[in-house]
Structure 1
């Protein structure tokens, strides 16, 4: 008896996976373009052959605190990127691959250009504590600075901090070395500058975060990032992106007085011992 004809197995249907991400901040567009490109490449690394990935920015202009709340609720956004903390890791799920290789914790100051002379007399952390820093109300950096004895003025709105600095509400605005120069370029002719001689340094990894129950997306991002680290494409993007490439040169570490701070809010799971994840600035 003849065997029944073999049925051809149809390939799985093509599908598009839409990932909702934060709206771009105009003052930090270079930094954001790097992070979005890293996320896209990580998802491309870990997708199936029949899948395509669409990163869809939301239309709402949320504060960082609101983004975290929206991700926790799990209704309007799928992925955010932010500095980690104990509270954040307790409520939303981190993918513990530092996407900026530690640069976010290397902090230069935005200042009023006319006040550079004030900072030339700052020789110790105690000297710096006589001045006032500006930070976001819900940023982990605020607690870190205060835990190290520094005075901090806060606002919930990122963009308002530039106006407050310009208006003299505080003396300096600590920013990651990957952020500071792009932010100055986004605020031209406002009398602001990057301070020339000081730097704060503390462990402050930025991660991708997803909803606690979104294990599939968390696994996709982690597999993709680890794959990029292993094949060298992570460092290729990082070291050649316009928002990163000139950081070490512009920071001029050999001319800076570095104050190392403790981060009491650093989760114990932070992979500080894995050298693949961190850039050595010195």
Structure 2
């Protein structure tokens, strides 16, 4: 039983560093709020380039992870999903990274159809590739995020989208390349994409502990405080309310989250 083991193996790979840090601290907060204070969280930040490997993560020793609700990599696989959004739907607010020289071209976009005809670059295994395809976008899915930045610089794709929670820090990490790139200032793509905890199917006690702690952290305001610490003033800083919003549907949401609305 997990209470006796006192170890929680948390897979935290295949995501940006800013997401890794927030989700790691969130799990720690949930365990603490559930009075599971002596837990030793063993963090695995291995990146898996194969969707199959990621989908089989629970067979590799993982106890718990955070991923998007309805992630098709786990479709049909035994798992316990705690269907409580942990990041206010922030990841579904996507901004575009484009070439600076293409700024005028994108400023003239007035409809979704115009953007659908351009090519979006998405790294292999990212859950939103299928979602964009389902919404009629032209998707080129391959390689890593760095590979897609190189393809953007070479004009083999037209743009990349990233969640508002990570786009600034990722752009900063690109070093000299960022001089040629721009966060497009007018467009916001939104689709419901809540992040939730996935727990090993044999770790039901752990699932109950995490769920109890998450409920407590939401109720006492500690969850909101952690969110704000990692995403300060994000709505105003990135002008989310004044952008032209292009809304997509997410056919992969579980029934319990069909009515999900972002809380930003």
TM-score by length of 1: 0.83
Which residue number in structure 2 is paired with residue 217 of structure 1?
206
CA deviation string 1:201-258 (max 9, x = no partner)? 11111112122222111111111100101111111111222xx113212221343110
- More off after superposition, 56-65 vs 145-154: 56-65
Deviation, 1:188, is: 2.1
Which residue number in structure 2 is paired with residue 82 of structure 1?
67
Which residue number in structure 2 is paired with residue 56 of structure 1?
42
- More off after superposition, 212-221 vs 52-61: 52-61
Larger radius of gyration: 1
Which residue number in structure 2 is paired with residue 107 of structure 1?
94
On the 8 A contact 1:63/1:158 being kept in 2, the answer is no
Which residue number in structure 2 is paired with residue 132 of structure 1?
119
Which residue number in structure 2 is paired with residue 238 of structure 1?
227
On the 8 A contact 1:24/1:57 being kept in 2, the answer is no
Deviation, 1:24, is: 5.6
TM-score by length of 2: 0.88
Q: Distance in 1 between matches of 2:50 and 2:30?
A: 23
Match of residue 160, structure 1, among 125, 144, 147: 147
The SS at the match of 2:205 is helix
Q: Are residue 30 (structure 1) and residue 18 (structure 2) matched? A: yes
Deviation, 1:89, is: 5.4
Q: Distance in 2 between matches of 1:31 and 1:86?
A: 17
Equivalent residue pairs, number: 257
Q: Cα distance 1:169–1:79, how it changes in 2: closer, same or farther (>3 A)?
A: farther
Q: Cα distance 1:254–1:41, how it changes in 2: closer, same or farther (>3 A)?
A: closer
Which residue number in structure 1 is paired with residue 216 of structure 2?
227
Which residue number in structure 2 is paired with residue 248 of structure 1?
235
Q: Distance in 2 between matches of 1:265 and 1:201?
A: 15
On the 8 A contact 2:12/2:65 being kept in 1, the answer is no
Which residue number in structure 1 is paired with residue 109 of structure 2?
122
Deviation, 1:138, is: 2.9
Q: Cα distance 1:77–1:159, how it changes in 2: closer, same or farther (>3 A)?
A: farther
Q: Distance in 2 between matches of 1:64 and 1:54?
A: 28
- After superposition, the CA RMSD in angstroms is 2.3
